[in-house]
Amino acid sequence: MRTQRLFAYAFAVCLVSLLAGTVMAEDGNGNSNALLQGKYRHSGSISCAVGETPESIGSSGPPVLITFTGITIYDGRGTARVKEHGIVSSGIPSSFEDDCIGPYHVNRNGSISRESTCTGAGGSYKLSGIKWKGQIGVEGSVVDLSSAELVVQKLEVPAEYPTFTQYRICGGLETEVRLQP
């Protein structure tokens, strides 16, 4: 009876070790970013307080609501590329398309942090200072991200359009689901 119990415990330890190994995937060089590699479909929404200067954030009327969807591609080495489109609802709704790029880092516990800078279609704007934090699901098939820190983002519209600069602090959620490795 005691021997059977020891075998059962040993089996359980081996099983847990195998499962943990899939969550803690590395590329052999200690690169935990290898866990995220491939194409993910994402969707999310954020709400932003805006202002003409960082100090005036929140004084420019009600929050701006943004919903978006698109594709995120993780290269497995720490760079994420995003192509997305969405709707901005602040008074009269408008649509947007952009491409984003930035670094990401996966921790050994499966948490992730990602930063991005986005450029609007045709160079219509540049949005910098985007930061997400979250958690990767088992085997990296789902990623849940949130933006809930007091991080100031900067939206710049170039001179070809009516010159415009806006600062904002946003909070929101994004969910990503793996499409392919």
Confidence of residue 181 (pLDDT cuts 50, 70, 90): low
Task: Indicate the class that CATH gives domain 2-180.
Answer: mainly beta
66, pLDDT greater than 80: yes
14, pLDDT greater than 50: no
How many whole angstroms separate alpha carbon 39 and alpha carbon 97?
18
Q: What average pLDDT score do residues 92-101 get?
A: 94
Q: Where are the domains of the chain?
A: 2-180
Confidence of residue 47 (pLDDT cuts 50, 70, 90): very high
Q: What average pLDDT score do residues 47-57 get?
A: 94
Helix or strand run (H / E) with residue 4: helix 2-23
Residue type, 163: T
pLDDT (0 to 100) of residue 154: 95
Higher pLDDT, 2 or 57: 57
User: Which residues, other chains included, contact 136 with Cβ-Cβ below 8 Å and sequence gap of 6+?
Assistant: 23, 35, 36, 106, 110, 111, 112, 142, 143
151, pLDDT greater than 90: yes
Cβ burial of 117 (10 Å; 0-12, 13-18, 19+) is middle
Q: What average pLDDT score do residues 101-105 get?
A: 97
pLDDT (0 to 100) of residue 31: 76
pLDDT (0 to 100) of residue 161: 64
Confidence of residue 7 (pLDDT cuts 50, 70, 90): very low
Q: Which two tokens stand for residue 179?
A: 């499409």
pLDDT (0 to 100) of residue 22: 39
Residue carrying structure tokens 């290898």: 34
The pTM of the full predicted model, rounded to 2 decimals, is 0.80
156, pLDDT greater than 90: yes
Could you please report the per-residue DSSP string of 47-88? EEEEESSGGGTT-SSSPEEEEEEEEEEEESSSEEEEEEEEEE
How many whole angstroms separate alpha carbon 113 and alpha carbon 73?
15
